[in-house]
Amino acid sequence: MNGILPLYKERGMTSNDCVFKCRKIFKTKRVGHSGTLDPNVDGVLPICVGKATKVVNYLMDSGKVYIGEITLGFATTTEDLEGKIVAEQKLTKKFSVEEIDEAMRALTGELIQIPPMYSAIKVNGRRLYEYARAGEEVERPRRKVSVAYFKQTNSSEFDNERGQQKIYFEVGCGKGTYVRTLAADLGKKLGVPAVMSDLTRLSSGGFTIGQAVKLDDLKEEATKGGLEKQLFPIDHALKKFPHHTLTEVQWGIVKNGGFLIPKYLHDEKRPTIVLMYKNQAKALYCFNQEKERYQPEQMIDLTEGEI
């Protein structure tokens, strides 16, 4: 079986746990996910099965949407509720809607983020969380991320006794954005410590949470022989690219990794195109301007396919 599964990852599981369970359900080792979700976060986790693992990176490039909650008044080592408290400041008054909106607007567009120490980013061959658990300090790489929008979804709540304020938000962002870092940075904009206190991923890879399937439901489909109908075609990950349907002669060239000349592709000179044959995505080709030809970027499926 080959295709993409919009999985609903429940809380308490790692993304790798989901991959392991899907390998058992689909009875194949060729399973991968397109974007880690922390154990305490639920929501859409696209899973690639079989030959679809070759398009994981293209799924990861798509935008993501989250909803969640930010608590002002304290900060933690992990920037969420899993870590130890490292800073506290009792709020004496509630931040206004306008103050929060202004701080959120300042955190949109192209941003530079410093990822949390408790993250899976590698530095010198080790993941940051490994350094953190060992109590070692290491310089974290600065990363450019994109935030399309960051907005409040409901009225915030102020706890006068605790001196804390809860903000309810939605964010649309690009690949590599740490939402918990965004929450901590919002606190910095407002001049107080902050933490991401709840998070759900609403969409990823072009899938919405309404399309996502739970593992228990997937297991039930496996007993009915209905697994394949839960998968979306590989081409779902490639919708943003222009497509070209290959002739028999062109397919003979492509399946051997050969080059294609633009004049045989209706003079297209797009940076990347998806090559289709018998209604299936077979390869991605990129345009080499210097040599005026299309050449392989990613081979997906070299079998004949079905009409």
Active site residues: 38
Long-range contacts of 182-187, Cβ-Cβ distance < 8 Å, separation of 24 or more:
182/107, 182/113, 182/147, 182/150, 183/68, 183/70, 183/79, 183/80, 184/75, 184/79, 184/116, 185/107, 185/113, 186/70, 186/100, 186/103, 186/104, 186/107, 186/150, 187/70, 187/72, 187/75
Question: Are the C-beta atoms of 48 and 55 separated by less than 8 Å?
Answer: yes
Q: Which of 170, 17, 1 is CA-nearest to residue 9?
A: 17
Residue 205 per-residue DSSP state: T
Q: Is 30 helix (H, G, I), strand (E, B) or coil?
A: coil
